Amino acid sequence: MKPMLDNDMSPNRFELLYGMLLDAIPSSVLLVDEKLHIVSVNRNFLLKSQRGEARTVGRPLAEVFPTIILENTDIERRIREVFRTGTSVKGQRMTYRAPGVPIRIYYYSILPIPTNQVMLLMEDVTEQVRLSEEVRRVERHLASVVESASDIVLSTDTEGRILTWNSAAEKLSGLSAHEVRGQYFFQFCGSNQQQTVRKVFMLMKSGNESHTTEFPLVTSNGDSILVSWVFSPMKDDYGQTVGAVVVGRDLAERRKLENQLRQSQKLAALGVMAGGIAHEIRNPLAVCYSAAEFLLMDNISTEFRNECSRKIQAGIQKASAIIENLLRFARPSPDTEMVQVDLNTVITDTLDLITNQARVQQIRIQLELEQRLVLVLGVSGLLQQVFMNIFLNAINAMPEGGLLSIVEEISEAEVAVRISDTGMGIQESDLDKIFDPFHTTSPIGKGTGLGLSICYSIVQQHLGSIHVQSSPGQGATLTVRLPLL
């Protein structure tokens, strides 16, 4: 059957256009007759096979294609089947290698056409296969990295349902990937943290930031392991959040190292304390000793005897105060029960105690507190001691007067109280030492250096933090941070 031609189109012109159309196809195209001879080929096939048209057109298929291809693909039988049934064969794989060129991989289809011929269409997929294999190699590598990691690595969808769960997660939790897949991640967190975990997933839906927190992982036997978690949003090619990657690290080993470090710090502080105690207590004891020697004399007046008694009493009181502060630093009220405390009330009550002294020293007080209850879990008396120490230090830093500023700021989970003065400031070399016990820049007899150490210990007891910023001549700012209820 010959194709119908337009009146103005000659057979030669049609064949020319038909050939141009075949050459424009980016795939390799061969027309084969019933005797399995090649009737026509396009330029793409000639280039890929490195054959000339004269050595290809009119030749048997077995002469053009290597024997190994014909044997492995059974392509001749398939072509005959298409001639017999008139049904196409699609999506078959073929590996072809022309002399002197690398192996090429094709997917071929055999299509019947109305001219008692079949069209062999060969699509070169070498690069796609190579890229696919590279992607699989990268995937296997990433999977190996995740499985080899000693940290917990898991992925979830946007709602927090677990998709993957690595070997470290299985080992630490005692739960297999099969058991947890499809479950909500917050189900395996401590009961007090489930709402927090849900909130993290909600934040990641619309944000790009990672979130770091610490909370227990509940194991298969009901125990819990304290874990440090990092939640990171997982994006698709369009920048949309499609899930989350969660990495967790068992803190047991880190806590062990921290305890060792803390112990070494305690031993170092003990040496400082020993020197401080010797220095601070020696003076009142020397006075007491001298006064006691005078009291042993018979020829002293009653007035002098009374003065010696008063000096002994004052020296004992001073030594007792040093020891009391030292004990308070070591164990700040361990038996005191923590209750709900309004931090604003603590601050205002403390300011009432130092207002007169500030007025005498011509120090203005600027107070900016939240106009609502600021509730923290703590001991009111200990917190008042913290702010009293900080306020008095600020006042003492401004002997010529100045401004004492107290500003309260509330974030999502904590309250920050910034106490600033316009005094002398702190030397850079002293910034790292101001919370050390017995470190003081005050003149001898004016301070023991335990005030800020006690403050630091009390704030730590309340699960908070205390930091200082200062420059010489530009005042200082101490920031106390406490978790909100």
In tens, the pLDDT along 265-307 reads: 556 555 655 655 666 677 778 888 888 888 888 888 888 888 8
The percent of residues in the chain predicted with pLDDT above 70, rounded, is: 81
Q: 3 lies in a domain? A: no
Residue 56 has pLDDT above 60, yes or no: yes
Tell me, yes or no, whether 403 and 263 share the same domain: no
> Long-range contacts made by residues 80-87, C-beta under 8 angstroms, separation at least 24?
80/36, 82/110, 82/111, 82/112, 82/118, 83/34, 83/112, 83/118, 86/112, 87/112
Q: C-alpha angle with apex 351: 325 to 396, nearest 5 degrees?
A: 60
The count of other CB atoms within 10 Å of the CB of residue 173 is: 22
pLDDT score of 157: 92
445 confidence band (pLDDT: 50, 70, 90):
very low
* Boundary residue ending a domain (232, 250, 268): 250
Cα dihedral sign for 72, 77, 82, 87?
A: negative
Q: Is residue 26 a part of any domain in this protein? A: yes
Q: For residue 4, what pLDDT band results from cuts at 50, 70 and 90?
A: very low
Query: What's the mean pLDDT in 108-120?
Result: 88
Let me know whether 338 and 478 are in one domain. yes
Mean predicted confidence (pLDDT) in 100-118 = 82
**How many CB atoms neighbour CB 471 within 10 A?**
12
Domain co-membership, 224 together with 262 = no
Asked, for residue 294, whether it belongs to a domain, the answer is yes
- The average pLDDT across 60-76 equals 82
User: Could you tell me if 318 and 425 lie in one domain?
Assistant: no
Torsion angle defined by CA atoms of residues 398, 400, 401 and 402, in that order, rounded to the nearest 10 degrees: -60
d(CA 166, CA 169): 5
Chain-wide mean pLDDT for the chain? 80
Helix-strand-coil percent breakdown of the chain, rounded to 5? 45, 25, 30
**324 and 347 housed in the same domain:** no
| Max CA pair span of the chain | 152
| pLDDT at 271 (0 to 100) | 60
Q: How far, in Å, CA of 248 to CA of 225, rounded? A: 11
Strand partners, 415: 410, 482
Handedness of CA 384, 261, 467, 413 (dihedral sign): negative
Strand, coil or helix: what is 210?
A: coil
Residue 133 is assigned to a structural domain of this protein: no
Residue 385 confidence (pLDDT): 81
Least confident of 188-202, 220-234, 365-379, 427-441: 427-441
Report the pLDDT value the prediction gives residue 446, as an integer from 0 to 100. Answer: 44
Residues 318, 453 share a domain: no
Give the mean model confidence (pLDDT) for residues 133-160: 84
User: Tokens at residue 230, please?
Assistant: 């990092």
Residue 14 has what pLDDT? Answer: 45
The CATH number covering residue 160 comes to 3.30.450.20
Sequence-ordered list of residues with C-beta below 8 angstroms from that of 418, at least 6 positions apart, any chain: 405, 406, 407, 408, 409, 477, 478, 479
The answer to the question of residue 314 being in a domain is yes
Are 263 and 367 within one domain? no
CB-CB contact of 415 with 481 (8 Å): yes
Radius of gyration, alpha carbons of the chain: 43
Q: How far apart are CA 218 and CA 101, in angstroms?
A: 59
Q: What is d(CA 31, CA 44) in angstroms, rounded to the nearest whole number?
A: 13
pLDDT of residue 278: 67
Confidence of residue 443 (pLDDT cuts 50, 70, 90): very low
| Predicted confidence band of residue 231 (pLDDT cuts 50, 70, 90) | very high
Residue 5 lies in a domain: no
Answer whether residue 230 is part of any domain: yes
Provide the CA 397 distance to its chain's centre, in angstroms.
Answer: 40
Q: What tens digit of pLDDT does each residue of 303-358 get?
A: 888 888 888 888 888 778 767 655 654 554 544 578 899 999 989 888 877 777 78
- Tally of domains in the chain: 4
Report the candidate in 16, 118, 22 with the shortest Cα–Cα distance to residue 5: 16
H or E stretch at 95: strand 89-96
Give me 35's structure tokens: 């005797």
Phi, psi of 364 (to 5 degrees): -85, 145
Q: Give the domain-ending residue among 304, 330, 356.
A: 330
Burial of 161 (0-12, 13-18, 19+ CB in 10 A): middle
Q: What is the pLDDT of residue 94?
A: 77
Classify residue 218: in a domain, yes or no: yes
Indicate if 177 and 191 belong to the same structural domain: yes
Indicate whether 122 and 211 sit together in one domain: no
The answer on 471 and 349 residing in a single domain is yes
The pLDDT value given to residue 101: 62
Q: What is the mean pLDDT of residues 364-378?
A: 90
Candidates 349, 362, 366; CA nearest to 405 is 366
Same domain? For 113 and 170 the reply is no
- Is-contact 471 423, C-beta < 8 A? no
Q: What are phi and psi of 465, to 5 degrees?
A: -145, 160
pLDDT greater than 50 at residue 168: yes
Residue 457 shares a structural domain with residue 340: yes
Domain termination site, one of 219, 235, 250: 250
Q: Residue 263 belongs to what domain range?
A: 253-330
CATH code, domain with 369: 3.30.565.10
- Torsion (CA) 203, 207, 209, 213 in degrees, nearest 10: 0
pLDDT, tens only, 20-50: 667 777 788 899 999 999 998 888 888 878 8
Q: What average pLDDT does the segment 446-459 reach?
A: 66
Long-range Cβ contact pairs of 208-215 (< 8 A, separation 24 or more): 208/233, 209/233, 214/251, 215/189, 215/190
